Chain A
């Protein structure tokens, strides 16, 4: 036995050495991304289509925004900027756009007004969810062809419908879904489906990048378009890597495998705070963290009680302790940097006033309410903080956490005292962010308008609803601005049952090597000017 063993051990040694060597041969992986490639860690889950007239998900929007151009674009302050249209004039009947003369699609075809007409007609004829913003504005399958005109090769005109003004139409034309596609290319692939099957996974745009590869749930690679009319982008490639795990994403960023990390959890975000080599950007969303109060409940039907709650929340303290990167205290549903904002309106933490109001309403001895929230950062912490804050003014809150669908269905069924939803926005202006706080056409239970935010809170506001509708259709900018300000004042005076508390931000972390990256509030971040240092 021992002799066998001794002989065999020589052979074993060779084999084991082989294993050891193969392990050593793997080189240590200390990586740094190349200076001419931008690598973004993000979630590509549920990314189903890159056809700009179909894709809806935030991930798709970020990609489409860089493959395609739109007539105009917006910035985070709500200004409309030229993109494919170098200028435009609006009149009572419509808007005339003058296109950039030397713009070309990646295919080499020139961008003409025919392409614009084709694109808008295609969006509406395909009639996907992506077309909703335009169909809601009065452009339908039946009328769209008579409302868009190629005046000459570089002049495009669109007529106004009865339900939209030129200003608001401009915002809609700035959305990713109204991107301009290469009509020649797309028609080549039209198999009776407007080329959708092909365009879903290919690009035919005039933007600064082209789609080079898309592996679902794995990776999207964009290549620079060297002939982009405003100059070739600085990055040769942009790579978006699907990283569903926040911890993994954080590691990759720390190790230099990626340059930008999206959608990190609070814990992982916090680890980058004040850390050398990284910067955190709070990308505005135009949305809010909201405290919804059920005005159908006896106590909350009293404006005094609602205002007591509004005065009883320690906004600044909570912003510092809990919200941090996620939000900024703001109790009027319009970001402070927009036009037509009423300055210095809103509530602040005044516990004495809150107690006084409660006494007036007959709840001097205190009040007990439940607060429902989705179990998710930062909402759970926010709920706990609100609980602590309101306790001091004599309101006892018990927090109930639940999963998304349960909480949302309670919200829709008016089955709550207090509930913490959040809002988003589809255009960066007062109407875009505020409409959902100020419109409730029919508050009756029978209307069952569960899609409406205000209806869910059983808050009847006929006057404010009317004013909102009028402001939307007002064509004179100065007059409209007054009406928008009036809306904000009225919202304040009515002591809202849908109380915005914090303006919502999407925090992202960037490596210090990345410059000129400005996250866009409508998920339309353009990357052509992004540079990287070595």
Chain B
């Protein structure tokens, strides 16, 4: 069995990867036909581009104070006005987008593989391993995520990295559950059976055949999660437990803008709009992806 030439198992394997990529492409193609989902994609694309190019396109540096023009209302010079230190709010929002996007993707990069691995292992092996892993997942799922994140963030010291870790610690279980459900389906498919027949080892089966097939739905789930991550990160920032000043984190900007909201509404309102737009874009895209992948309307 172990003598089996590698070439023979390669065919189904590339088929697995091909199918996974194919599904993602189909989602992408159909997304362009769905007006709302398409709009969401455009908004998100703009946010990502702005974040990537912030240092080039932002009209002002984000942290340089200009005490001569504090709390200016929105104008042609400052589209979103200035804050209490005379910093241009639009420029800060652009740099803040970097922080948000980085936070969201960092969390996804952490919880995606972890959730996928736990779910796929549980689904593939079944039995006792499945029971233990799913019990653990249920337990973490029954924790109040934001409150625990608050506790973690406080224990590890406030900061962007701890915020990422704190959010990750509590947000992998839904991914794991989903990946398990997918793995249960995938492991019964023909080509997995074929690969098994060819003598692929269990590890091979797991990581080269089954896991890739679960990726599309994990990505959809992650996209839906991104909105929640954005909001949780903003909450931590608002409470002073996220990125520290003078970093232009959106939640923290709202917290400091709140001190001026009666006379200078824009200081607190603008970052809120940025958060709303971003998580709305994530939600719309996730929604549309889910509709495409599962027309029956997933209920999780």
When A and B assemble into the complex, do they touch directly, with CB atoms less than 8 Å apart?
yes
Greatest chain A CB density within 10 A among B258, B259, B260, B262 is at B262
Task: Verify if B7 is at the interface (C-beta below 8 Å from A).
Answer: no
Of A225-233, A245-253, A421-429, the stretch lying at the interface with chain B is A245-253
A265 / chain B contacts, CB cutoff of 8 Å? 259
Complex contact A267–B263 (CB within 8 A): yes
Task: Verify if A2 is at the interface (C-beta below 8 Å from B).
Answer: no
Task: Verify if B261 is at the interface (C-beta below 8 Å from A).
Answer: yes
Task: Verify if A4 is at the interface (C-beta below 8 Å from B).
Answer: no
Find the B residue at minimum CB distance from A246.
B259
Complex contact A380–B67 (CB within 8 A): yes
Complex contact B260–A267 (CB within 8 A): yes
A250 / chain B contacts, CB cutoff of 8 Å? 262
B259 / chain A contacts, CB cutoff of 8 Å? 245-247, 265, 267
19 contacts between A and B (CB under 8 A): A245-B258, A247-B258, A247-B259, A247-B260, A247-B261, A250-B262, A251-B262, A265-B259, A267-B71, A267-B259, A267-B260, A267-B263, A267-B264, A268-B262, A271-B262, A271-B263, A380-B67, A381-B67, A384-B67
Q: How far is the CB of B266 from chain A (nearest CB, A)?
A: 14
CA distance A268 to B261 in the complex (A): 10
B67 / chain A contacts, CB cutoff of 8 Å? 380-381, 384
A384 / chain B contacts, CB cutoff of 8 Å? 67
The A interface is mostly helix, strand or loop, or mixed, namely helix
A246 / chain B contacts, CB cutoff of 8 Å? 259
Query: Per-position contact with A for B66-90: 1 when CB-CB < 8 Å, else 0?
Result: 0100010000000000000000000
**Beyond known contacts A267-B260, A267-B263, A267-B264: 4 more, CB 8 A cutoff:** A246-B259, A250-B262, A265-B259, A267-B71
CA distance A251 to B262 in the complex (A): 9
Q: How far is the CB of B84 from chain A (nearest CB, A)?
A: 8
Find the A residue at minimum CB distance from B245.
A403
B71 / chain A contacts, CB cutoff of 8 Å? 267
Per CB-CB distance, the 4 closest pairs between chain A and chain B, nearest first, are A384-B67, A247-B262, A247-B261, A267-B260
Q: How far is the CB of A269 from chain B (nearest CB, A)?
A: 12
CA distance A223 to B262 in the complex (A): 34
Interface hits, A246-288 → B, CB 8 Å:
246-247, 250-251, 265, 267-268, 271
Find the B residue at minimum CB distance from A254.
B262
Query: Per-position contact with B for A375-403: 1 when CB-CB < 8 Å, else 0?
Result: 00000110010000000000000000000
Find the B residue at minimum CB distance from A271.
B263
Interface hits, B244-276 → A, CB 8 Å:
258-264
CA distance A265 to B84 in the complex (A): 12
A381 / chain B contacts, CB cutoff of 8 Å? 67
A271 / chain B contacts, CB cutoff of 8 Å? 262-263
B261 / chain A contacts, CB cutoff of 8 Å? 247
Q: How far is the CB of B72 from chain A (nearest CB, A)?
A: 14
B258 / chain A contacts, CB cutoff of 8 Å? 245, 247
Query: Per-position contact with A for B7-23: 1 when CB-CB < 8 Å, else 0?
Result: 00000000000000000
CA distance A265 to B71 in the complex (A): 15
CA distance A268 to B258 in the complex (A): 12
Q: How far is the CB of B79 from chain A (nearest CB, A)?
A: 22
CA distance A271 to B259 in the complex (A): 13
Q: How far is the CB of A268 from chain B (nearest CB, A)?
A: 8
Q: How far is the CB of B69 from chain A (nearest CB, A)?
A: 13
Find the A residue at minimum CB distance from B268.
A247
Find the A residue at minimum CB distance from B65.
A401
Find the B residue at minimum CB distance from A383.
B67
B260 / chain A contacts, CB cutoff of 8 Å? 247, 267
Interface hits, B27-78 → A, CB 8 Å:
67, 71
A247 / chain B contacts, CB cutoff of 8 Å? 258-262
Q: How far is the CB of B157 from chain A (nearest CB, A)?
A: 15
CA distance A265 to B256 in the complex (A): 13
CA distance A247 to B255 in the complex (A): 12
CA distance A74 to B241 in the complex (A): 44
CA distance A250 to B259 in the complex (A): 11
A251 / chain B contacts, CB cutoff of 8 Å? 262
Q: How far is the CB of A391 from chain B (nearest CB, A)?
A: 14
